[in-house]
Structure 1
Amino acid sequence: MTRKILPIAALLLGSAFLLFAGGINALILPVRGAGEGFSSFSLGLIGTGWAVGYVLGCVLTPGLVARVGHIRSFSVMAAVAGIAVLLSLLLITPWAWIPLRAMSGFCFAGAAMIVEGWLSERSDAQSRGMIFGIYMTINLVATTAGQMILMAGDPMGHMFFVLAAMFYMLALIPTAVSSSASPQPLVQARLNLHELYRNSPVAVVAAFFVGISNGAFGTLSAVYATGIGLDLNSVALFASVPILAAAVAQVPIGMLSDRFDRRLVLFSTAVIALGADLYFVAAQPDEAVFALLAVSLLGAALFTMYPLLLAHANDFASPDDYVLTSGSLLLVFGAGAIFGPLIAGTAMETIGVRGLFMTMAAAHVVIGAYTLWRTTVRAPLPIEEKAVFVAMPIARTSTPQTAEFAPTPAGADQEAEAH
């Protein structure tokens, strides 16, 4: 195992620095923006800016890498992301933060694609599952640590902006000094909506609305937590605990979806998420314990929907089309993530902080209702014809390259049979 990890240790360390900086940046902006008196609408636009930049990064990075190479491209992405964070400290206004956040989203997606391309190239059939699992664990720990670090200081100061910029710069060093050879060209994201919808209408419709709910929550959950009176430590936990809960929940939910109709499992997760949404709308709990318990349940449902949708779409795709299917579905999710923060920010500005979960509840009603209706239109796929569920990073940090790097459902199926 050590012989397989040491050659890619620099890449994994660079990824950890990148995700740590991204975790800080994702949380400090809404927390600081709320403290500065930014409107919920403008904070929602900041989230929309991130989603636009992220989608463009997924689409345009392969062309940039083909022209200037992996190391130069990664260096540019990390440097520009660090500059964007520092400019956010110098220009404390939402109208500057929106394009700066779009820059961060573009660079974060591009840098992640490059690292995943490198790691995919250095993985063989025997080690791919192990290396992908280590990569997912590093992503989870680094992102969570980046958010939790806000508990250590004052978000109204400069420390967290500088810290995020420092770690973006640190991400440059391991890849710059690494002797790893440049990998093959990156996966080009393409949207084949007609073919994707023909194969799996549920995947397309639900992915868009999952993008709305996840994008809204990822951008504005800290604003909601601040609005109901939670302290800074609890706000950081409110943003971090759902990601950890989803990491734990993916395995049992994935196993259930392998044994039963995935659409019924998706419907069940939508119902659970809807129940949590309505609790936050009605109760607006100002006791941290109750808020964190409820948001853990929400996260376990919220962030497992996209991997379920991807598995369901792959059930009806040929193995040669898994990567194309994943890239198309991610772009549909990204389109929803563009609209989600904007809609939720408008609702919060009009109704109050509960507008966030009212927006998410509406999205989850659509997901549940449409999924349930589709079970009456198309018979479930026999278990022996289904691909095996593969755990994935949360969709907000996934790229088209993630599907190329991850063990394929067919490969996971063969591994399961071998055991």
Structure 2
Amino acid sequence: MLPITALLTSVALLLGGNGLLGTLLAVRSQTEGWGERTTGLVMSGYFVGFFLGTFTAPPLIRRVGHIRAFAFHAALAAAAVLVYPLWMEPMGWLALRAVTGMALVGLCTVIESWLNAQAAPEHRSRVFAVYMVVTLLALASGQLLLDLQPPRSPVLFSLVAILFALAILPVSTTQLQPPTLSIAPRTHILQICRAAPSAAAGALLAGLALGAFWGLGAVYAASLGLNRAGIGTFMAVTILGGAALQLPIGRLSDRGDRRSTLAVVAALGSVTAMLALRVEAATPTGMHALFFLFGGLAFALYPLAVAHLLDRLPAEQLLAGCSALLLLNGIGAAAGPALAGVLMQRFGATTLPVFFACTLGLLALIAGGRRLLKARHLLHPARFHPMLRTTPTALEMLPEIPDTPTAQSRDPQRN
């Protein structure tokens, strides 16, 4: 348990810093007068970098090893963070966001492959669940650090860099034997669209909505007149809703056709987003309750899509299929801030909930239509697992995925 605790400590430090950084950049860009369209484009850079990092990180880890690769990516992330206040240009920040995304995916790949190797097959689901809980809580906690200093101060950037640097310590001092990093098989996205259209639509549209939330949620909160503490609380409450409601929603989906659950959850999320148009910052309790519910619904969509895909594919195709679904979600997350930023620039920052409502409403129509047109057919019945979009390595911890070299290469002291 202690080795896993050390790894989870690194995760908490990394994602706490990353959660603070995303909100800080959105708020700071607005104080610089860049506008929502430019801010959305800048924030999309992180997801583009995250996507590119899924290709660049594994070869580096195989070549230099887990610990050195972790130190490399952590140093890269910390250096990029320190450059932000020195390079106050939108295109510069766009490049830095891409670098940060590439660094974070490398760090997550190292951590997730090690967690996978440390978990016995019968405990993989539990380890995955604990990892996701730590991830969500760290992201939520990072939001609350926003009020420590004004956004124009370089102190918060330094704090993020310190958290990234501290994350190296638990990993660099471990005595665990590095695991083997497996090569995830590739599946074409069109194959996933044919096998499970609702899952493909769910991954893409959930990525659009949540990418816009991560990139521009703080801008929307500021448009309501919230101060720094209020913006951090708004972001944290929405994330905590995603942490609290995923499991109850998922357990309901295990009892019936997941397309029905996907359609209902997306429809409720769309309605909740539209209700947000009437939210006033003067009523923080109602606003927080509404966005807690929205977070719970919106954050459940991607894991519902994954569970539906797990139901539909044979065992030997599950890892490749989930990796393709992850790619679709990443494409949506990269496009979401840019598209929402254009709308917010033209019609006002408070139209972000309209973007959420339209995106989730479209998903509800697709999933509901597929439920009516085609009967349920399960090739590989699966369970729902709460999750965020992560790297393909983490998906190997799902109990439905057959054992891979990473999962089999465990510390010899445990065998």
TMscore range, shorter length: over 0.9
**1:84 aligned residue (70, 80, 84):** 80
Bigger mean CA offset, 251-260 vs 149-158? 149-158
**2:383 aligned residue (367, 384, 388):** 388
Bigger mean CA offset, 265-274 vs 138-147? 138-147
Distance 1:372 1:358 in 2: 21
How far the C-alpha of 1:405 sits from its partner, in A, is 2.3
Partner SS for 2:225: coil
The equivalent residue for 2:13 is 17
Q: Match for 1:217: what amino acid?
A: F
How far the C-alpha of 1:9 sits from its partner, in A, is 3.1
Contact 1:80 1:107 in 2 (8 A): yes
Contact 2:205 2:360 in 1 (8 A): yes
Partner SS for 2:396: helix
Distance 1:310-1:92 versus aligned 2 partners, 3 A rule: same
Could you tell me which runs of 5 or more consecutive residues in structure 1 were left unpaired when the two chains were aligned. 412-419
How far the C-alpha of 1:362 sits from its partner, in A, is 1.6
Q: Match for 1:390: what amino acid?
A: H
Distance 1:138 1:375 in 2: 34
**1:376 aligned residue (372, 379, 382):** 372
State whether structure 2 residue 250 is matched by structure 1 residue 258: no
State whether structure 2 residue 380 is matched by structure 1 residue 403: no
Bigger mean CA offset, 85-94 vs 327-336? 85-94
The equivalent residue for 1:231 is 227
The equivalent residue for 2:406 is none
Contact 1:44 1:345 in 2 (8 A): yes
How far the C-alpha of 1:84 sits from its partner, in A, is 0.8
Partner SS for 1:127: helix
Q: Which deviations, in whole Å up to 9, do the C-alpha atoms of 1:272-310 show, x marking residues without a partner?
A: 111122122354554322221111111011000000000
Contact 1:389 1:409 in 2 (8 A): no
The equivalent residue for 1:417 is none
How far the C-alpha of 1:209 sits from its partner, in A, is 1.4
How far the C-alpha of 1:190 sits from its partner, in A, is 3.2
Q: Match for 1:84: what amino acid?
A: A
Number of equivalent positions:
403
State whether structure 2 residue 291 is matched by structure 1 residue 304: no
State whether structure 2 residue 56 is matched by structure 1 residue 60: yes
Contact 1:132 1:407 in 2 (8 A): no
Percent of aligned pairs sharing the same letter: 33
Q: Which deviations, in whole Å up to 9, do the C-alpha atoms of 1:65-93 show, x marking residues without a partner?
A: 12222112111111110011100021122
Q: Match for 1:44: what amino acid?
A: G
Contact 2:129 2:385 in 1 (8 A): no
Partner SS for 2:121: coil
Distance 1:295 1:23 in 2: 17
How far the C-alpha of 1:341 sits from its partner, in A, is 0.6
The equivalent residue for 2:407 is none
Distance 1:77 1:188 in 2: 21
Contact 2:315 2:380 in 1 (8 A): no
- Summarize the alignment of residues 105-120 of structure 1 with structure 2, pairs less than 5 Å apart: 105-120=101-116
The equivalent residue for 1:101 is 97
Q: Match for 1:196: what amino acid?
A: I
Q: Which deviations, in whole Å up to 9, do the C-alpha atoms of 1:346-379 show, x marking residues without a partner?
A: 0010000123222222211210111111112211
State whether structure 2 residue 310 is matched by structure 1 residue 314: yes
Contact 1:230 1:287 in 2 (8 A): no
Partner SS for 2:105: helix
Distance 1:75 1:186 in 2: 20
State whether structure 2 residue 156 is matched by structure 1 residue 160: yes
**1:174 aligned residue (145, 149, 170):** 170
Distance 1:137-1:370 versus aligned 2 partners, 3 A rule: closer
Q: Which deviations, in whole Å up to 9, do the C-alpha atoms of 1:196-237 show, x marking residues without a partner?
A: 112101111221111111101111010001011112212111
The equivalent residue for 2:288 is 292
Distance 1:366 1:318 in 2: 28
- Summarize the alignment of residues 181-260 of structure 1 with structure 2, pairs less than 5 Å apart: 181-188=177-184, 190-260=186-256
Distance 1:372 1:107 in 2: 38
The equivalent residue for 2:358 is 362
Contact 2:241 2:295 in 1 (8 A): yes
Q: Match for 1:274: what amino acid?
A: S
CA RMSD of aligned residues (A): 1.9
Distance 1:345 1:103 in 2: 21
The equivalent residue for 2:145 is 149
Partner SS for 2:349: coil
Distance 1:294-1:270 versus aligned 2 partners, 3 A rule: same
Contact 2:139 2:239 in 1 (8 A): no
Contact 2:125 2:397 in 1 (8 A): no
Q: What is the TM-score with the length of structure 2 in the denominator?
A: 0.92
Bigger mean CA offset, 188-197 vs 93-102? 188-197
Could you tell me which runs of 5 or more consecutive residues in structure 2 were left unpaired when the two chains were aligned. 404-415
Distance 1:183 1:7 in 2: 13
Contact 2:270 2:360 in 1 (8 A): yes
Q: Which deviations, in whole Å up to 9, do the C-alpha atoms of 1:295-348 show, x marking residues without a partner?
A: 111101100000000000110111222221211101001111111111100001
How far the C-alpha of 1:155 sits from its partner, in A, is 2.2
Q: Match for 2:385: what amino acid?
A: V
**1:341 aligned residue (329, 337, 340):** 337
Q: Match for 2:180: what amino acid?
A: Q
Distance 2:98 2:337 in 1: 13
Bigger mean CA offset, 354-363 vs 371-380? 354-363
Distance 1:50-1:138 versus aligned 2 partners, 3 A rule: same
The equivalent residue for 1:414 is none
